[in-house]
Amino acid sequence: MSVAVSHDQASGNNVANTSSLLRTYLVEEVIDTDSEDFVKVVHNGNAVPLLALEDPLYNIAQFLCFTQHIQYFKNDGAVFLSDLQDPQIMMEISGNKNIFGDGNVGKVFTLFPKQHICNKYCEWFKLPTVKESGV
Ligand SMILES: [Zn+2]
């Protein structure tokens, strides 16, 4: 993922600075999900790894689930990232203002404390369980 910025050159000033900044974009590589090399390890519909315990990538899936836990903990239960190959911000938003698109599955966000299973990374970082953290 990269950051791209565009500047206003209409003023004739070719020096990019903060006053000429027009837009900032997050740019990411298109992921070919049809490729046989693509493996989805966690998605935004569930907070547990999609891979079997014996899968060679299971360790990566555990680490990514740990990152969800630490994000959830550090933000007092307000937000975490899911669908980590194509990141999706997950949070509960009141009303109809879902500014993070259809991938922000509110039901899954509220289920996170029940679905997340702490693993060796959560334990190594001495994270309180989601229930212990009180969020
Ligand atoms: Zn955990």
The domain of 57 spans 32-135
The token pair that represents 73 in the structure block: 């903990």
Same domain as 69, residue 11: no
- Give me the half-sphere count of Cα atoms (radius 13 Å) on the Cβ side of residue 8: 7
Residue 50, amino acid: L
Total domain count, the chain? 2
Same domain as 117, residue 81: yes
| Cα 93 to averaged position of ligand 1 atoms, centre (Å) | 23
CA distance 127 to 31: 32
Same domain as 130, residue 96: yes
The pLDDT value given to residue 94 = 65
Question: pLDDT grade, residue 96 (50/70/90)?
Answer: low
Residue 93 has pLDDT above 80, yes or no: no
Residue length, the chain? Answer: 135
Same domain as 109, residue 45: yes
Same domain as 74, residue 17: no
| Cα 31 to averaged position of ligand 1 atoms, centre (Å) | 27
**Selected residue with higher pLDDT from 105 and 80:** 80
pLDDT tens per residue across span 7-50 = 877 766 666 677 777 888 878 788 888 888 888 888 878 888 99
| Cα 52 to averaged position of ligand 1 atoms, centre (Å) | 18
| Cα 113 to averaged position of ligand 1 atoms, centre (Å) | 9
Residue carrying structure tokens 């935004």: 44
